[in-house]
Structure 1
Amino acid sequence: MLAGENEVNVSKVDQSKSDKTDILLELKEQRDVVIEKLNRFINFIKRANESDLLELESRLDHVSSIFNHFEQVQSRIESLEKCTTNSEYRETFENSFFKAQAGAKNKIVEFHSNIQARITASHNRTETGRFRATLPVREGVGDLGNSKMNAIKRFHKLESKLINDTVIRQQYSEFMREYEKLGHMTKVPTWATEVDGKGVFYLPHHGVVKDSATTKLRVVFDASAKIGNGISLNDTLMVGPTIQEDLFAIIIRFRQHNVAMVADIEKMYRQVEIVEEQRDLQRIMWRSDPNLPLEVYTLNTVTYGTAPASFIAIRCLHQLALENSKKYPVASQLFDPLGLVGSVIVKAKVIMEKLWQHKVDWDQIAPSPIISEFIHLQRELPILATIKIPRQITVPKANVIEIHTFSDASTIAYGACSYLRTVDNSGQCSVRLICAKSRVAPLKVVTLPRLELNAALLATNLTAKLMEAFTCRISNIFYYTDSTIVLWWLNTEPALLKTFVANRVADIQGKSKIENWQHVKSEHNAADIISRGSPPSQLVECDM
């Protein structure tokens, strides 16, 4: 197992103790607990198998947060002892952790590559051109047990609810009738329904009512439902990597062109068939009327709710694009997590951090100053509706396209913002804000130069993400910081720097050209408003 759920929090050390020795003892006890958890993580990586890697991937962020607690505790110990040997101890352990973390990520990448190759190799087409895929069953999966009784029990509960609601019952029956009419599910012959165990699994199902113009009710098939032996269908299937692009990349491209198109694929998952020999893994129980016999059906297509459904469907889309790349060389995709009002979000994040500092529980009244600050921000939020942001960020037929990214930090937050500068043949120039990113400064005392370095790393990662999203050729990239210390660090070999700085400098050097980093005066730094936060009334007046 990975590190436990109970995180150590340096803020919980009893600061009222007058004896420094007592505080140090308590801090060191906390440090020992954290180190034990992190050592378990390091050892876990060394022996991780396929099933372990799935857990590992879901817990990497959690493990990183535990490591951050180690840094907090160790920094507090160092400040109390004023001793350099402790700092060396921390750097030694940091190197072990980062090496293990990098190893874990490499294993996960390799694992995902193997899954993708395995699923991709099984794809083929039907006579009508429809994709047919194989469910990626884990190796060593044996008898799946008796899932039929659980499915029957769940169906009877569902049926009793449908009897009492004629509207929902009608919609449910219509949904299933259409499912069968389209060939997406098929009735299983009576003689074949006796087969159970290996290669057979019955999925319970229920309805989800959605307030939508197109669909009022959707039937959901529960592939995570566990049966008597504690196994669900999803437990036996590999997930596959996330290959669909996030909304950030999609909306960046949406802002790139003169004309943008939006499209929707009807019943996307159900456009892909499952090979016939695996359809018994997707059996269900159904009847439209309690007076009719209970029938067994197989779901013949990729089923929403199964672990690999998203990967299989998206992979088929990629394959379709690949096969038609010569015929249709450009395909548009499509939405705002761009941080365009990031300075206002920083104000909200700072309020949340103050609540945490004051240890205010969810059902407690916050201190008056925090309440006043929140009310003031809340009253100004409607002002954001007056902000108009141009969708397109380029001039037509641009021959110069540059990304300019600024970074800045304050004692409360740090952030970065990117602009696109485009110029056409006639010299017409446009500079538009693309996106921004912010982080609240940690509660532990961190020097301003280190926060500025964090901002520079954030700027580098933000720009790298933009480069992945843009489909146009970028002429040049420029980075700006008002910290001369950061610029000196970036021009220094990481081996000569302390671990905290060295790790981040190495990351920045690997993702950007250092000669593209420039100094900007604080009053001209576009990221200043993000690092300090601003109410909506100030943001609307900002000409950056």
Structure 2
Amino acid sequence: MARVREEKRSSSEKFSSIETRSARSDLRSSGISSSSGIGEIGHIFIFCDSQAGPFHHSSQWDRSSGLTPLDMTSAGLSCLFWKLLCVGQIQLHDGQPIIQKTMLGWIITRPMKLPASKLRPRLSCNLITNQQLHDRVARFWEIEHVTTKLPHSELDPRDVCEQQFTATTRRDTEGRFIVSLPLKNEVNELGYSLRMTKKRLFAMERKREKHPEVNEKYIDFVKDYEEKKHMTQIAQNEISTVKAVNYLPHHAVFQEGSTTTKLRVVFDGSAKTSSGLSFNDVQRVGPVVQNDLLSITLRFRQYSVVLSADIAQMYRQIRVADNQQDLQIVLWRTDSTKPIQHFRLSTVTYGTASAPFLATRALRQIGEENKENYPTASQVIIRDFYVDDLLTGTDTVEEAKELKGELTQLPSDAGMDLRKWASNDPSVLNDSNYSTTEKTIQTEKDPKTLGLLWDPRSDTLKYSLKEAPYAKITKRTILSRIAQIFDPLGLVGPAVIKAKILLQQLWQLQIDWDESLPQNLHSEWKDFSTHLMALNKISVERRVINDRPDFVQLHGFSDASERAYGACIYLRSADRFGNRDGHEPTPKFLSWSKKDLLNLVNAVLIGVRLAFNASSSAILRKSFLSELSKELDKE
């Protein structure tokens, strides 16, 4: 008989197994012929522990087998049966059983052929990692983190990566930076990676052959790499046999939201070598040297005239020291009929652990070197870039034009050209290198991350979500969908909080990543997902402050319940003529499951932190801290 058994391990992982054995004698003793199988019309048998609950058992069943079938023919139990059903049904081939998920586990129905009694045991061991999923979960919750720490203003000379950058970085004859990779001592323990990289190349070639359009863009991307001398072909006998060598596999990533490069080739620095170490394992990540996105977007909402742009191929404008380029070797050929070629990547490579630090630190170095000659542009380079995206502004059009000229020149001297300029005032953009398309605001170049957009034509903030139909709704697909809602300012917090509460329920039920949901949660998600597209209709004014305000006030509100707590800060300003303006720059809603009082305390703390971050200018922050101190003294 088929037996479904669920075991809960101490590590909170659930494993399900189906054991099959011959039990023809048991079937005969119960009055059921072996040809009848499981699930004859009018009867559905669920096999479970006899202590599972007060169910009516079939009196003819041989209980010595340890399994008891539940007779579901009675009216009362048939009603209970439908309540036990969950979303999830596996239909095998004709004549094979149907597997249905229930609250008690999986049940098997319809006729099935019993296997032979003598089966050779087989042991299978499988390992599934969900690191990327865990990373997306962490990133989703980290967006809500509010801190009172000041933005990164000074570099830490005690940091190992900072020390190495300062000691080894230099410029070439064209002004481009040459950097050294911050490697750990374990670099010599890297294993062999050529065989693994070849397998990955063959797999990618098979995918490219099935999709000619992808193949064409892939070839163009690599061709551009080679033409710009960002990679150089080498003979295999030129590769060092003394120092560490590493091969990087690569794959394609589609960027639907990009207005320039729809396909990007990403190099996998996390691919394990034969020793179990990857290239990323032997690199130091380095500190964050730029402001966080919340600080940048809050400042962006205060300016009268704003500018945005990004650096073209930022990582590839920074060269890697020659003696480390053997750690960045790739394999390539245009099609499977040609011989495999070896190439050295000569620039900072997207997909490696130290790349973000090296690229952003080199950009910051431009600002550090020009503090005296270009103080305004230098300050903008240091604090208003998020990776390669610029979001900044000024109070007048004349100041914006001057700032744009300086920001165009300084990075360009290091080979970093700014492109896709945009402004809410078209007169600032007096050349052809500008864009009127919406600017995407995001934490990283993740093509799956959609969300907050700035429309320079209407000078408003919007949201962009796309329909995402899924054949099967699971915890994995729900998380994938929710993670696309990127909301650093918390403007759609009331909608996001519902998704977070749903995620908490999934975790409490200990549902696996690819397991279907209970019926009630399935219906709840379907309803929420349908209404989620309404976020695309939301439009919020970018600017939150009047021109030349006579006073500025911050008004904070917070509240809590058993399920969630939240806080919101309103900024109110007025000029000397009495013209007032009020906006909601930074709401935050956090899901929680503790008591109301504790949630209320947390909500108040979040409100205070939000007010501290909202007062990003020196005058506002000083005023806020002064008023806060007075209120605390009253208490």
- Tell me the alpha carbon deviations over residues 470-506 of structure 1, each in whole angstroms, 9 at most, x when there is no partner: 4764452289xxxxxxxxxxxxxxxxxxxxxxxxxxx
Q: Which residue of 2 aligns with 1:142?
A: 188
User: How far apart, in 1, do the equivalents of 2:175 and 2:192 lie?
Assistant: 36
Q: Which residue of 1 aligns with 2:571?
A: 420
> Cα gap change, 1:391/1:200 in structure 2, threshold over 3 Å: closer, same or farther?
same
Of 317, 325, 328, 1:279 maps to 325
SS at structure 2 position matched to 1:264: strand
User: How far apart, in 2, do the equivalents of 1:5 and 1:217 lie?
Assistant: 44
Q: Which residue of 2 aligns with 1:463?
A: 611
> Cα gap change, 1:436/1:148 in structure 2, threshold over 3 Å: closer, same or farther?
same
1:54-93 equivalences in 2 (<5 Å)? none
The one-letter amino acid of 2:565's match is: Y
Q: Which residue of 2 aligns with 1:396?
A: 547
Q: Which residue of 2 aligns with 1:327?
A: 374
> Cα gap change, 1:131/1:366 in structure 2, threshold over 3 Å: closer, same or farther?
same
Contact kept? 2:566, 2:589, Cα under 8 Å: yes
The one-letter amino acid of 2:518's match is: I
> Cα gap change, 1:210/1:322 in structure 2, threshold over 3 Å: closer, same or farther?
same
> Cα gap change, 1:390/1:289 in structure 2, threshold over 3 Å: closer, same or farther?
closer
Contact kept? 2:253, 2:263, Cα under 8 Å: yes
Contact kept? 1:415, 1:439, Cα under 8 Å: yes
> Cα gap change, 1:219/1:407 in structure 2, threshold over 3 Å: closer, same or farther?
same
User: How far apart, in 1, do the equivalents of 2:606 and 2:231 lie?
Assistant: 49
- 1:440 and 2:591 are equivalent in the alignment: yes
Measure how far apart 1:354 and its partner are. 5.8
State the TM-score, normalizing by the size of structure 1.
0.61
> Cα gap change, 1:377/1:298 in structure 2, threshold over 3 Å: closer, same or farther?
closer
User: How far apart, in 1, do the equivalents of 2:177 and 2:221 lie?
Assistant: 23
Q: Which residue of 2 aligns with 1:363?
A: 516
Q: Which residue of 1 aligns with 2:598?
A: 450
> Cα gap change, 1:386/1:281 in structure 2, threshold over 3 Å: closer, same or farther?
closer
- Tell me the alpha carbon deviations over residues 303-330 of structure 1, each in whole angstroms, 9 at most, x when there is no partner: 0011100111111111112223341514
- Tell me the alpha carbon deviations over residues 169-226 of structure 1, each in whole angstroms, 9 at most, x when there is no partner: 3322222221111010112245413x33633212122233443442233222221111
Contact kept? 1:135, 1:237, Cα under 8 Å: yes
Q: Which residue of 2 aligns with 1:216?
A: 262
Q: Which residue of 1 aligns with 2:293?
A: 247
Measure how far apart 1:132 and its partner are. 1.1
- Tell me the alpha carbon deviations over residues 337-369 of structure 1, each in whole angstroms, 9 at most, x when there is no partner: 2122323444454455566667888624344xx
> Cα gap change, 1:472/1:270 in structure 2, threshold over 3 Å: closer, same or farther?
farther
Measure how far apart 1:253 and its partner are. 1.8
Gaps of 5+ in 1: 9-54, 66-108, 480-511, 521-544
User: How far apart, in 1, do the equivalents of 2:360 and 2:550 lie?
Assistant: 34
Contact kept? 1:252, 1:470, Cα under 8 Å: no
The one-letter amino acid of 1:168's match is: V
User: How far apart, in 2, do the equivalents of 1:475 and 1:235 lie?
Assistant: 43
Contact kept? 1:147, 1:202, Cα under 8 Å: yes
Of 457, 460, 476, 2:623 maps to 476
User: How far apart, in 1, do the equivalents of 2:500 and 2:284 lie?
Assistant: 37
Contact kept? 2:586, 2:614, Cα under 8 Å: no
Of 512, 516, 520, 2:631 maps to 516
SS at structure 2 position matched to 1:223: coil
SS at structure 1 position matched to 2:362: helix
User: How far apart, in 2, do the equivalents of 1:143 and 1:113 lie?
Assistant: 24
Contact kept? 1:401, 1:420, Cα under 8 Å: yes
User: How far apart, in 2, do the equivalents of 1:272 and 1:299 lie?
Assistant: 11
Determine which structure has more spread, i.e. the larger CA radius of gyration. 2
User: How far apart, in 1, do the equivalents of 2:592 and 2:368 lie?
Assistant: 44
1:8-87 equivalences in 2 (<5 Å)? none
- 1:307 and 2:307 are equivalent in the alignment: no
Q: Which residue of 2 aligns with 1:39?
A: none
- 1:205 and 2:250 are equivalent in the alignment: yes
> Cα gap change, 1:111/1:349 in structure 2, threshold over 3 Å: closer, same or farther?
farther
User: How far apart, in 1, do the equivalents of 2:253 and 2:524 lie?
Assistant: 40
User: How far apart, in 1, do the equivalents of 2:294 and 2:202 lie?
Assistant: 44
SS at structure 2 position matched to 1:260: strand
Q: Which residue of 2 aligns with 1:196?
A: 241
The one-letter amino acid of 1:423's match is: A
> Cα gap change, 1:154/1:377 in structure 2, threshold over 3 Å: closer, same or farther?
closer
> Cα gap change, 1:422/1:120 in structure 2, threshold over 3 Å: closer, same or farther?
farther
User: How far apart, in 1, do the equivalents of 2:530 and 2:233 lie?
Assistant: 58
> Cα gap change, 1:518/1:398 in structure 2, threshold over 3 Å: closer, same or farther?
farther
* RMSD (CA atoms): 3.9
Contact kept? 2:156, 2:162, Cα under 8 Å: no
> Cα gap change, 1:379/1:143 in structure 2, threshold over 3 Å: closer, same or farther?
closer
Of 397, 402, 406, 2:557 maps to 406
Contact kept? 2:187, 2:244, Cα under 8 Å: no
User: How far apart, in 2, do the equivalents of 1:345 and 1:382 lie?
Assistant: 12
Measure how far apart 1:419 and its partner are. 1.7
Q: How many residues align?
A: 385
SS at structure 1 position matched to 2:343: strand
Contact kept? 1:269, 1:302, Cα under 8 Å: yes
Measure how far apart 1:272 and its partner are. 0.7
- Tell me the alpha carbon deviations over residues 396-425 of structure 1, each in whole angstroms, 9 at most, x when there is no partner: 122433333222223333221112222334
- Tell me the alpha carbon deviations over residues 27-66 of structure 1, each in whole angstroms, 9 at most, x when there is no partner: xxxxxxxxxxxxxxxxxxxxxxxxxxxx9xx99x99xx9x
> Which range moves more in the overlay, 291-300 or 314-323?
291-300
> Cα gap change, 1:268/1:363 in structure 2, threshold over 3 Å: closer, same or farther?
same
User: How far apart, in 2, do the equivalents of 1:301 and 1:384 lie?
Assistant: 40
Contact kept? 1:202, 1:282, Cα under 8 Å: yes
User: How far apart, in 1, do the equivalents of 2:579 and 2:561 lie?
Assistant: 36
Q: Which residue of 2 aligns with 1:175?
A: 221
Measure how far apart 1:262 and its partner are. 1.4
User: How far apart, in 2, do the equivalents of 1:121 and 1:391 lie?
Assistant: 42
- Residue identity (%): 35
Contact kept? 1:478, 1:518, Cα under 8 Å: no
Measure how far apart 1:466 and its partner are. 3.0
More helix by share: 1
The one-letter amino acid of 2:218's match is: Y
Q: Which residue of 1 aligns with 2:272?
A: 226
SS at structure 1 position matched to 2:363: helix
> Cα gap change, 1:438/1:216 in structure 2, threshold over 3 Å: closer, same or farther?
closer
Contact kept? 1:478, 1:516, Cα under 8 Å: no
User: How far apart, in 2, do the equivalents of 1:267 and 1:198 lie?
Assistant: 30
User: How far apart, in 1, do the equivalents of 2:489 and 2:604 lie?
Assistant: 18
Contact kept? 1:408, 1:414, Cα under 8 Å: yes
Gaps of 5+ in 2: 1-8, 14-130, 142-154, 385-389, 392-440, 442-486
